[in-house]
Amino acid sequence: MESVPEIDIDQDGRKDVAALRVSAFDLLEELTMDCTGQSPSGEDRKLVLDYSSNEDGAPVDRSQDTLVLTCPGAWSIQNFPIVQVHAWDEQGNSSFCYSRLYVAGSVFEQKCTYEPADLSIGISTINGYDVPYVDIQIRGDLDTVLTTNERGILHRSRIGLDSLTISPSKNSEPVQGLTGFDIVLLQRHILGTSTIISDPYRLLAADINQDGQLSIRDVIEMRRIILGLQDIFVNNNAWRFFDKNYTFINPSAPWEEASQAESVSFNLPFGDVNIDFIGVKIGDLDHSVF
């Protein structure tokens, strides 16, 4: 087995780190007798012109005299492939034998015995401060809700988790970060006397009732939260989270796009996955929470 650059050798859509090339001739006990059991001295012996090999269940191709085995896919004993070795006569007839390949060696042990891949989720504010204890809903190969740590980070092994959708949520302490100054900023924006609420995250933070616009209704609900007349936002969570890599097509009116950016999906067979979200505290227009 040889180390290879991380390229897709076998064209299965995954990068390979090691490969083993096995010739059909390497799987024959002797060349003078084909796998039908014909004797070299038998009158009915047909002349064997070619030998080919293929993994069991794969298409049979007379011209394929070499198998390329890669990892991942053959790093546990159960996954070592069963191979068919075909002998072809001059009329194009063939017969085959089965063989199972077991691979050993230092390169195999180093390259194909993979460490478990990780799923890493990080959540921070627009200013780069960590958002702790965020619930992470995971759907797909795993359906569960996990929680980030005090640094806004979640780590877990992703062995067997090829396809997932990640959606963060947090709905505690809606009053956190809200002050009378946020009310002033929102009122000025509505009246057109200030343009401080211009980036998509501030606009989404100002949409208290999540109706896709900024109006006096948002001012009223923010005031009720600050005064303690209301414990939660009626139609919103205390926080919203957006894929850090998402670029808003219409940043001055991000309402319709917002839901697309609130989750991240991936479908990858192996390797580490790192996902970052921007946390937006609803109502905190000057981003004073962190």
Sheet containing 94-100: which strands, arranged edge to edge?
Answer: 48-55, 82-89, 94-100
Q: Do residues 62 and 24 make contact, with C-beta atoms less than 8 angstroms apart?
A: no
pLDDT score at 58: 84
pLDDT at 34: 46
Residues of the chain with confidence (pLDDT) below 50: 1-2, 4, 32-35, 72-78, 106-111, 114
Angle between helices 216-226 and 180-191 (to 10 degrees): 170
CA atoms within 13 A on the CB side of 157: 5
Give the dihedral sign, CA 11/13/17/23.
negative
Using a cut of 0.75, tell me whether the model's pTM lies above it.
no
Single out the residue of 170, 141, 168, 169 nearest to residue 157, CA to CA: 141
Token match 């090829």: residue? 162
User: According to the model, what pLDDT value does residue 171 have?
Assistant: 97
pLDDT at residue number 75: 39
| Predicted pLDDT of residue 54 | 86
| Residue type, position 277, single letter | F
CA-to-CA distance for 68 and 265, rounded, in angstroms? 32
Mind listing the domains of the chain with CATH numbers? 2-111 (no CATH), 118-281 (1.10.1330.10)
DSSP code per residue over the chain: -EEEEEE-TTSSSS-EEEEEEEEGGGG-S-TTS-TT---TT-TTPPPEEEEEEEETTSPP-TT--EEEEEESSSSSGGGSPEEEEEEEETTS-EEEEEEE----SHHHHHHTSPPPPEEEEEEEETTS-B--S-EEEEEESS-EEEE--TTSEEEEE-TT--EEEEEEE--S-TTTT--HHHHHHHHHHHHTS-----SHHHHHHH-TT-SSS--HHHHHHHHHHHTTS-SS-SSS-SEEEEETT---SSTTS-HHHHHHHT-EEEE-SSS-EEEEEEEEETT-TT----
Percent of the chain with pLDDT over 70: 75
pLDDT of residue 96: 85
pLDDT digits (tens, 9 = 90+) for 137-149: 999 988 999 999 9
Q: So what's the pLDDT on residue 107?
A: 47
